[in-house]
Amino acid sequence: MIKRAFLHFGPHFEEVMSFLLFLIRGGEKYPHLANCELRFLPNPTEIPYLPEGMKFSECLFIGIGKELTRDLIAAGVPADQIIDEHKGTGRDEDSSFRKLIKLLGLGEDKYLSRWADALGLKDSGKGGDNFTVYRALSAIYSAERENCSCEEGFNWAMEIARASFADEKYFVKGERPQMAGRFFERLSCVWACLRSGALKKEQALDEFFFTGWQNCSANFPNTLRRLEKDTDESLFQIIRMAENGSQRSLSPLGLPRLLYAYYEKQGLEKTISAACLALDAEKRKQQNFLAALKIVEDAKQIPLNDGETFTLFVYSNNDQVNCAARHLYGEKIGVIYQEGNFPKRSVQIFTNGRTTISLESLYLEIMAEETRLEIARQKKPEKKWHYLTGNNDTLLNGSSSYPGVPSTLITSRWFEEKIPRLAEFRSLSGKKAA
């Protein structure tokens, strides 16, 4: 019997859907799921504390890291109760949702397989739109960071996911995807009127969701001009979302598709609230991006050893620094070092995938220096760094996904001296350059 489920802090939509599937269909294999608790792991590489009398085999872990997988197996957890998206060779193969389908013995269910296919694509850009629910959920989580929480975003995603998941016609082709786009544009118009104070909620609903609205087009840019908000740069992405949503066939993971399914199940009032939460978060995200452009422009630059690219050293909690740096400098950026101090000191080091830089040597030096400092201060060694490789190498000492990681003992000056020297260039084949 599963008594407790664990997800990492700020789970992706795929993992939200996995937990939802577990609750809805898991009872066929694991009875008494109504009493199953959900806990978020601030540091998903640490074995969580278990209450007295509970066994690891009575827990399910969804979307966890390789280190925890290895340690848990060593502690006696059956491998089929560890749903780890970080193992394997392909995004679709690694899907937590697909692995959970197999665990629950539902591999022949064609409807669940369609969901697994959609979730496996994630937000890769396939499917015709770039405003997936993944983007909205990330923006909501970012807004929650100051409270060190992910509850609001998780509950928001669970609520709209439950409505779409219960819709057996969700993947049926036809006019419905286009209707979802037109519906989303009207939601955006209502949101803009409410946030500007131009209309009360009842007035906005009467104007944009009158009888027969399905047969009439809305125009979000015109609404913004009427509200004198058409030059507001913080609305740039929302304008794109609303316009594209009304003109293109949307993927199953498009926010308009999910909100339209939610509307059909829960009605307009609840859907307006769900849409406003997402659009508020998207606006905050864009505001952070605009602020990050100025922060990045003023940040220290130290050349790398190729003489063409440089490391950018940024000291800010702004979560859009990485995006702003790549937007402003493009391929001139080799490495981005970002150090924040809320709620504690955290360091994140990113590379630009187009410049093919490896952080392996830097990672080894960090491990050695961290150990030296821990011994000198008689501190207990702790897992402080996560080294992620792929299209671009990343080193994380705490992030929005890993808020429980202890702060590094290494000084900022050490990083400013070491990164330019230890960042290693690779050829396009992945081999280190001579």
Give domain limits for the chain. Answer: 4-122, 123-293, 299-425
- Could you tell me which of 264, 199, 265, 261 has the C-alpha nearest to residue 226? 199
Pairing of strands 82-83, 59-62: parallel
Q: What is the pTM of this model?
A: 0.89
What secondary structure letter does DSSP report for 139?
A: H
Lowest mean per-residue pLDDT among 16-25, 65-74, 133-142, 305-314: 65-74
- Could you tell me which of 235, 416, 265 has the C-alpha nearest to residue 335? 416
Q: What is the mean pLDDT of residues 73-96?
A: 72
- pLDDT at residue 89, rounded to an integer: 47
pLDDT higher at 48 or 190: 190
Please tell me the distance from the alpha carbon of residue 9 to that of residue 138, in angstroms, as a whole number. 12
Sign of the torsion formed by the C-alpha atoms of 25, 26, 28 and 33: negative
- pLDDT at residue 364, rounded to an integer: 97
Extract the tokens encoding 247. Answer: 């003109």
Q: What is the mean pLDDT of residues 350-359?
A: 85
- Could you tell me which of 319, 368, 379, 326 has the C-alpha nearest to residue 348? 319
- pLDDT at residue 66, rounded to an integer: 72
- pLDDT at residue 85, rounded to an integer: 67
CA 407 to chain centre: 22
Opening angle at CA 28, ends 45 and 151, nearest 5: 40
Residue pLDDT, tens place only, 49-60: 777 888 888 899
Percent of the chain with pLDDT over 70: 92
Q: For the chain, how long is the longest CA-to-CA vector?
A: 73
Q: What is the mean pLDDT of residues 130-140?
A: 84
Please tell me the distance from the alpha carbon of residue 252 to that of residue 194, in angstroms, as a whole number. 28
Q: What is the mean pLDDT of residues 72-90?
A: 74
Burial of 94 (C-beta count, 10 Å sphere; 0-12/13-18/19+): middle
Extract the tokens encoding 143. Answer: 């807004």
Residue pLDDT, tens place only, 205-235: 999 999 999 988 889 999 999 999 999 999 9
Extract the tokens encoding 319. Answer: 């979560």
Say whether pLDDT at 417 is over 50. yes
Sheet holding 386-388, edge to edge: 300-303, 310-315, 333-340, 346-351, 394-397, 386-388
Percent of the chain with pLDDT over 90: 56
- pLDDT at residue 127, rounded to an integer: 39
